[in-house]
Structure 1
Amino acid sequence: MDTQSTQTPWLEPGLVRWAQWLLDSFRDWTGRELLPREGSAAAQASALFSAPLVVVSHGMEEDPILNYGNQQALNLWEVTWAELTRTPSRLTAEPVNQAERERMLMRAAGQGYIDDYRGIRISRTGRRFLVEGATVWNVHDPQRRRQGQAATFVTWTFLDGGQCAPR
């Protein structure tokens, strides 16, 4: 891996392709664009990474591993890219909230997407926050084969006080 891809892993060809699948799948399920689609695929991947909303996704493993998180997600979960992309998706919720999280993912899988998710998540350091109004959708490739799931949201409230929104 060269220095550029170490500093900007979201611009590696496989992740640029994943960003396109995230954006295309969101549009296909919701009928809306997640963000303006301008420029090349790499430009769109950069825009997604720096967007003022949280975007996070996982693949299709038996115990899905997070495979993408934009800068807002990295900040919120208090992790580096390398830490995020080694994290089982289930660990974004406390054990007590994992059954509720699994029900939500199953509902999104069955419907293609949901746009009314509300739940408690936890950062790497143990900081708890409430997510409201999240959209969760199935990510598919151009042949419409399911490749994972993603979520986006713009507002969260830290449960130790204070509300945080995009900076």
Structure 2
Amino acid sequence: MIPLQCNPAFYQLLADSYARLLGRPLVPQAMSVVEAAKWLYESAPFAVLAHNTASDPVFIYGNKAAQRRFGYSWDEIIQLPSRLSAEAPNRDERQQFLARVQRLGYEAGYKGVRVTKSGQRFMIEEATLWQLLDADGKLHGQAVVIPRTRDL
């Protein structure tokens, strides 16, 4: 099995579901699927995270920008329940946001407080969260692009 950080099929799920829901491409320039998957993981100037559909969703993907911002390695981030990316007092607000995305398909312009592995708080700004829906409409989880953050 190809690891998700360089898996063309997983990249295609991210990119296609994003484009279908938001009407614009996830990756700014035309590249092959293999090149785009590598660029998104290694070089994208924005964080991308995805979690699965478990009752307590776990991250299944976090690009290098997300790993740097949250302070986790690949092996750590893909075992992290996504709720732990927010402090306990902010989890209810985060859960309401996730529920809106479930109903509407996506939400753009989100901001909220998140926490790194070491406990440092930071604000995510202008985030876009969307449903990871394949071409048949099957839900595989949710993903987020975080273009900007700032320390608190």
Under TM normalisation by the shorter chain, which class is it? over 0.9
Cα distance in 2 for residues equivalent to 1:10 and 1:38: 19
Taking a change above 3 Å as real, the CA distance of residues 137 and 9 of structure 1, as seen in their structure-2 partners, is: closer
2:87 alignment counterpart: 94
TM-score, normalization: structure 1? 0.85
Identity of aligned residues (%): 35
Structure scoring higher RCO (CA < 8 A, sep ≥ 6) equals 2
124, 135, 142: which one aligns with 1:131:
124
CA distance in 1, matches of 2:11, 2:77: 16
Quote how far apart the aligned CAs of 1:77 are.
0.5
Instruction: Please list the CA deviations of residues 10-67 of structure 1 after superposition, one character each: whole Å capped at 9, or x if unmatched.
Output: 12xxx33111111111100000111135333221110111211111010101110000
What is aligned with 1:62?
55
Contact 2:4–2:61 (Cα < 8 Å) also in 1 = no
CA distance in 2, matches of 1:81, 1:9: 10
Match of 1:24 in 2: 16
Are 1:53 and 2:14 an aligned pair? Answer: no
Q: Determine which structure has more spread, i.e. the larger CA radius of gyration.
A: 1
Gaps of 5+ in 2: none
Residue 45 (structure 2) pairs with residue 71 (structure 1)? no
In structure 1, what residue type is equivalent to 2:102? A
Alignment of 1:150-165 (within 5 A): 150-159=143-152
Cα root mean square deviation, aligned: 1.6
Contact 2:105-2:130 at 8 Å conserved across structures: yes
State the secondary structure of the residue aligned to 2:45: coil
Rounded to whole Å, the distance in 2 between the matches of 1:9 and 1:100 is 29
What corresponds to 2:113 in structure 1? 120
Alignment TM-score, normalising by the size of structure 2 = 0.93
Counterpart check, 1:144 vs 2:124: no
Q: Which runs of 4+ in 1 moved over 6 A?
A: none
| CA apart distance, 1:9 | 5.8
Cα distance in structure 1, aligned partners of 2:44 and 2:109: 21
Structure 2 counterpart SS, 1:130: strand
For structure 1, the residue ranges without an aligned partner over 5 or more in a row are 160-167
State the number of aligned residues.
151
Q: Distance in 1 between matches of 2:4 and 2:105?
A: 28
